[in-house]
Structures are given as C-alpha cells and as structure tokens.
Chain A
Amino acid sequence: MSSLVGFLSLVFAIGINFYLFFSRYIFKFQKQKFNLFIRFSSLLTLLSFFSLMYAYVVSDFSNYNVFQNSHSNKPLIYKISGTWGNHEGSMLLWLSILSVFSFFFSFTKNIDESFKRLTLIIQSLLHILFGLFIVFTSNPFLVNSILVNEGLGLNPILQDPGLAVHPPILYGGYVGYSIVFSIAIAGLFQNSDDEWLYVAKKWSLISWTLLTGGIALGSYWAYYELGWGGWWFWDPVENISLMPWIAGLALVHSLMMVRGEQAIKKWIVFLSILCFSLSVFGTFLVRSGILTSVHSFAADASRGIFILLIFFIVTGFGFLVFLIKEPKKSNALNLLFINKVSALVINNILMIIATLTILLGTIYPIIIEVLYNKRISVGGPYFNATVIPIMIPGFLLMSIAPILSWQTNKMQNSKKYVLGFIILSILVLIQSYFLDFNTWGLVGLLLGFWIILASIIAIFSSYKVKFNIKFFQIINPHIAHIGVGIAIVGITCSSVFQNELDFNLNEGDKFDVNGKTVLFQEIETTNQINYQALRGKFLFDIEKNQSKKIEAGKNYYPVSKIITSEAGILHQWNKDIYFILGDQKNNEWFVKVLINPFVSFIWLGVIIMMYSGIIAVTRR
C-alpha cells in the first residue's frame, strides 16, 4: 500500500513539474500559484520518499526493494538508513533533497519575481530528468513477485551510525549546487542586475558546508570501519566528492570577493555550472558502477547510459548558455602584483588545476581501458605527487590573503608577519631536527602552523576584539583559515608520522606500545541481534589505575555472509591508538597497532570550517 502511495505521488510530482516547465510558454500563472505548485510538488516528492521509508520501517517485504535490502532483525536506525543504502532509494533521496532546496528557494524574498520563477523552472527541469530516471530505470516501488516473510539484509559495512547520516548530508551538498546552477543560468538568461550574486552566495555556502560535513563523515567512517588505519584513500568515490568541494571552495571565495568585475562574474557563472556538473558526473560514476569501490551497487548499463545522458544534457545546456549569453559588461579587473583580487585569481587558478588533476586521475582508467583494453588503477602515489604540490602555493597565499588590500600592493603590519614567520620556521626546524626529519612533514607543519599564526596575528592586529556576533562575522574568514591550518597539521602528522607495530599474541600476553604496557586479555564471541561479534579485549597502560579498555575485532553478518572489521580506537587529544585484530594462526592472534598522531586535529579543523560556513551564511 505504502509503495503504491509512494509511486503515485512520485509520478504526480513529476507531472506537476512538467506542467510548470511548460507553463512559461503555454499557461500563464499568477506568481502566487506558481510558488504553490512548486511547493506542492516538493511535498509530493517527500511523501514518496517517506512512503519508501515507511515500507522499510515496517519491513514490508512485498516491496522488492525492501526485500532486497532489509531484514526484520535489523535495528530501527538501520531500517531507516536502509532507505538510502541502496541504489534506488538513494536516487529517490537525491530527488527529495532537490525538492527540499526548491521548496525553500521558493520562499526567497528579496529577488525579482520573474528571476525566481526562471530559477525554479530550471529546477523543475532537473526534477523531471532525475524523476524519469527513477521511474524508468531505478524504481524503488516495484512489487515483489514472490511471497516472502524475510528480507535479504543490508550491506553490513553500511550498518553504522556515521554512515547512516553520511549520504543525506553529502547529497545535501551535491544537490544544493543545483540551486546555484539554476540561479547562474537564470542570471545569464535575464542579464539582470547583480542581485543574483548575493542569493547565489548564500546557497553555495550552504551547499559547500553540507558537502564538507558529508565528506568528513564518510572519511571518518572509512577511518574506523574499513580498518586500514587511514582516513583518505584517493578512492574514486572520494575523489568524486573532492572535485565539487574544491570547485565549490573557489566559487564561495569568488562570490565573496566579487565587486561587479566582469571577468569574475563570468568566472562565477562558469564555476556554478562546473560545481553542479561535477556533482552529476559523480552521481554518474558511482551509480553506473563504472568504478569499483565500496560504494558500488549492482551495475546496470541502462542506468549508466541514462545518467550519462542527464549529465550531458545538464552540463551541455549549462555551458551552451554560458557560450551564447555572456554576462553584461561592467567594471574591469583591478589586478595588482599582490592585492586581494590577484590573490583570489591565483588561488582560483590553483584550485581549478587541482580539480582537473583529480578529474584526470579519476577518468584516466576509463580512457585507458577503452583505448587499450587494459585495467590500470590510479591511486595515492599519483594524487599525492600532483595535487598536494599544486595546493601548497595556494595555502601559502591563503594565510595572508584576507588582510591584503583591494586597491594597493601595501600590506598592513607586514613586519609582524615576517617576524612571526621567521620565529615559526626556526621552531619547526628545531622540532624536526630533534624528532624524525621528513621533508613533507616539515613543509606540512610549517604551512599549517603558519596559516594558524598569520590568522591569529591578523585578528588581533587588524580588529578591535569584542565579543558580539558582528565581531565573529568580521573575523570569520580568519577563523575558517585557522580551521584549514589545524586540519593541515592533523593531515601532515597522521600521514607522515604514522607508526605501525605488528604482534603475534596469545591471550594473556603483555606487549609494549609507545612505552605503555598493554595486556591482551581475551577473545570473546557474542551473538548480537543481527551479527556475531568476535572481539579481542585489550587493556591499555595496565600500570596505571585508570587503564583504558580497547576492543578490536570482526563482525560476521549471517544474512549476507559478510565479515567486517571493527577497529578498536583509543582517542587521545594528540594521537589515536588504533588496534586491528587479524587472523588466528597456530593459536596466536595477529594484532596490528597503528599510532596516528593528531588525527583529532583533522576533525577539529573540519568542524571549524563548517562553523565558518554557517556564520558566513548569516552575513550578508
């Protein structure tokens, strides 16, 4: 029953969007009515999504999608997250988020009504394209042809609280760019005043903040669930999310800097189209199953071709409009040797080069396989060797960019910065001389700390410190950059200074980790509601009274016959101690211990960046 409601409301919502799309030419609307129709179609799409969720919650196995991906023994939260833990459901989530964005956009007040309507019509077109995709190739409301009373289960690796919320937030970022895309296209068509830039800024900040959160959640999940001890693997799917993130970063900065310059306005339109195109391209790569990774669901060529078509239409349409309708002439670019505008331009160029480098590495295997019928894989070594060096000058520039002047080459308080940089360099050099020296470690630490230091100097020397909202809004760019600096320190330490220890142990053995004694207490197997758990129990630092318990092991999911690894992590502010339980051989257990210094800094940096994103939304 709920499946029928879901399907009908989905089809009805698509129908309304068809109606709206053609309304411009055939039917004439009053403005009130138009907005009402948009909201109504959004609510219908949401109704469709929640009907599917309801089918999951009550374990309605007469729905084929629920039967394939759920199981009545699953805890409620994973029944709910199971709604988007599969291809069909996740596409419906995509469409629902698109609807949510249209819904809220229809309430925007301070813009021209016909401009708003045009933006929403482009949203309607997107709704139609993706809606038809769902109905024709990925219908989650198919009826199960056999009568069953149990489902086949959800991919156990996805049964995790972090991952339950990761897709909706990530999609919030991806799909949020659709509004920015529509605004930019509408701006091109109408060639109106610059009002649309302010509207676009708000929405692109929201999308970028959500995307940041989504990527960080996915990365954190990979860190403790995959059991490899790392948090970023340059997996194709990670790259796909990183590309719109970097392009979005360039977009957000350009939007904040623009002062009516013709060139930057054009550039903003380009970036808006690019961000959403990359999002759709990412959806294509993941959903077509063209790339294998933890995210791949069953591959199906017809789906791939359909999304490829959507990608082609959306991107082609965007760039074609961009080609034909250039923004109107206005102020010229005020480029000096080093002022705000030139810093912005240089950073934008670097970010685009980084994006293209990642794009090349991601699609290179596809091109090679088509041309030479060989399977190659492009991984960490390529990306580390190309993307990181491209980003480094950008990071350097970023540390001083917010305090550069608009009109002149002069920099306020430049002596303080030079002095700060010299002292910091000496400190970092001494540190790396006495601890293990590593070139990348040195560069990363210097860069990270320098960004933090320069931002702090800027806050205290350029503004009067007050504790009210306005002050936090003014210093917000610096705060964001401090977040980046902290994240760079965390990234550098955890990747360059990671330490790995291997042990073969019996129960009751004591061993030494980082100068602390650890006791391998016992192996315990328990039966949980939907899996069997094997846990090695460790007691960290047994000489102290408050020794810490760590559990590392594996879960076995009998329904889908999959084993997942569950790392045991002891979080400390300056390092994570990461336990992985391996296999048993000759009555001895293989235990791997990784010491990851300053991992927490990465998450802290990300949280600060997201905070800044939110603060920036509130500022006009």
Chain B
Amino acid sequence: MRRIFILTPLLVLLIICIFSLVYLLSGKDPNKPPSALLNKDVPIFESTSLYNSKEIIKTIDIKNKKTLINFFASWCSPCKIEHPLFFEIRKKHPELYLLGFNHKDPTTDAKKYLEDDGNPYDFVGVDADGLIALEFGVFGLPETYLINEDGKIIFKFMGPITKDVLKNEIEPLL
C-alpha cells in the first residue's frame, strides 16, 4: 500500500509526459485549434447578397459543387493580405465555387473594399450580425473552409491563407 502511495508521483509524471509528448508530436499548433466541424455537414445557413438584398443563398445551393467559404471583413487587415490569392484560385480552379461571407461590416465599407481590391467571389453573403460565423465556429477573421460535393467540411484554416497553404493543403483536396 505504501509503495503505491510513493509511486503515485512517478505515475502522474509519466501520464503528463505521455500526453504532452503525443500533443507535441502530433504537430498541433495552438494557433490552429481543431474544428469540431471537420468532416461534418456544413451548417445550415441563409444569407442575402451584398449587392442585391433579394438574392438569397442557402445551404442547399452549394450542394453538389466544391465550395470554398471565406469569412472576411473590410476592417480585417490580414484579410487584405490573403485577398489576392483568391484571384489566383479563381484562375486556376474555375470549377470551384467561391463563397465569401462579409462579417460584421457596414455594407458601404464592404462594397468599397471589394471595389478597391477586387471581388474574387462568386457570391458575397452578408453576415452582419455574425450568426453564420457562429454556426461555423469562426474564432477570428479571416477563416476559410473547404466543402466537398457531399456538403461536408473537409478543410478549415484560421488566419490568412498563404501560397504554401494553398499549394500543400488546399489544392491536394481539389
């Protein structure tokens, strides 16, 4: 009995070390929290177009096509950094449906932003109150999701995507 008592610290040490080691070796990055939604169905959403409030996009509209969803805002400077990459994606993968969600932004600012930097999206949905982002579990802008033909989220990225991310993580999935 006493032995067990004295052995406890060593056991606790072992457990802590094993978990920490697995964590480190699995290449997890604290800046990239895992998404609870990965490999799950895309959440149900409904949004109006930034340019025409009568035009509506729903979850069902992106069925049967590969879709890249990007949450952006005019006030988000990292979004500006990744913005040009979407034109590149657009050019290289014309079959991919690009859906942008404008997050908590005044419409005038959003329009001006897309006027100045260009609009790479097939559809720009308005997410003025951030409810759609909430459904997707968005941590911070920008965030990008790749949805496959079955409507499952197969990739998620937090922060601005880069050329490396595009080449090594997104394109293999296309």
Contacts and interface: CB of A to CB of B under 8 A. Distances in A.
Interface of A: 270, 273-274, 277, 281, 284, 288-292, 296, 299, 301, 304-305, 308, 311-312, 315-316, 319-320, 322-323, 363, 366-367, 369-370, 373-375
A366 B16 CA distance: 9
B17 A301 contact: no
B34 interface: yes
Interface stretch (B7-15, B49-57, B87-95): B7-15
B45 interface: no
B110 to A, nearest CB: 17
B29 A308 contact: no
Contacts of B34: 369, 373-375
Interface residues on B, range: 20 to 34
A277 B16 CA distance: 12
B6 A322 contact: yes
Given A299-B30, A319-B10, A366-B23, 9 more contacts: A288-B20, A290-B23, A292-B30, A299-B31, A308-B17, A312-B17, A322-B6, A367-B19, A370-B22
A366 B13 contact: no
Given A308-B20, A308-B21, A375-B33, A369 B13 contact: no
26 contacts: A277-B13, A288-B20, A288-B24, A290-B23, A290-B24, A291-B30, A292-B31, A299-B30, A299-B31, A301-B24, A301-B25, A305-B25, A308-B21, A308-B24, A311-B17, A312-B17, A316-B10, A319-B9, A319-B10, A320-B10, A363-B20, A366-B19, A369-B34, A370-B22, A370-B23, A374-B36
A273 B13 CA distance: 12
Given A290-B30, A322-B6, A374-B34, A316 B25 contact: no
A297 to B, nearest CB: 12
A305 B33 contact: no
A363 B10 contact: no
A340 B31 CA distance: 49
Nearest to B33: A375
Nearest to B35: A375
B26 A370 contact: yes
B30 A289 contact: yes
Residue with the greatest number of chain A CB neighbours at <10 A, chosen from B6, B16, B34: B16
Contacts of A367: 19
B17 A323 contact: no
A323 B22 contact: no
A489 B123 CA distance: 58
A322 B20 CA distance: 24
B24 to A, nearest CB: 5
Contact of A270 (B9, B13, B16): B9
B172 interface: no
Contacts of A373: 34
Nearest to A281: B16
B40 interface: no
Contacts of B6: 322-323
B65 interface: no
Contacts of A296: 30
Contacts of B24: 288, 290, 301, 304-305, 308
- Identify which of B24, B26, B27, B34 gathers the most chain A CB atoms within 10 Å of its CB: B24
A301 B13 CA distance: 20
Contacts of B33: 375
B161 to A, nearest CB: 19
B5 to A, nearest CB: 10
A369 B34 CA distance: 8
A253 to B, nearest CB: 20
B23 A315 contact: no
A320 B14 CA distance: 12
B163 interface: no
A216 to B, nearest CB: 27
A162 to B, nearest CB: 26
Nearest to A301: B24
Nearest to A320: B10
A583 to B, nearest CB: 10
Contacts of B28: 369
B16 A363 contact: yes
Contacts of B17: 308, 311-312
Nearest to B38: A373
A301 B20 contact: no
B38 to A, nearest CB: 8
Nearest to B77: A561
A312 B14 CA distance: 8
A291 B6 CA distance: 30
B27 A301 contact: yes
B21 A323 contact: no
B13 A319 contact: yes
A323 B13 contact: no
B13 A312 contact: yes
Contacts of B16: 281, 363
Contacts of A366: 19-20, 23
Given A304-B24, A315-B13, A319-B9, A363 B29 contact: no
Contacts of A291: 30
Contact of B19 (A288, A320, A363): A363
A-B pairs with lowest CB-CB distance, top 8: A375-B33, A292-B30, A304-B24, A319-B9, A373-B34, A319-B10, A312-B17, A370-B22
A366 B19 CA distance: 7
A155 to B, nearest CB: 16
A490 B96 CA distance: 59
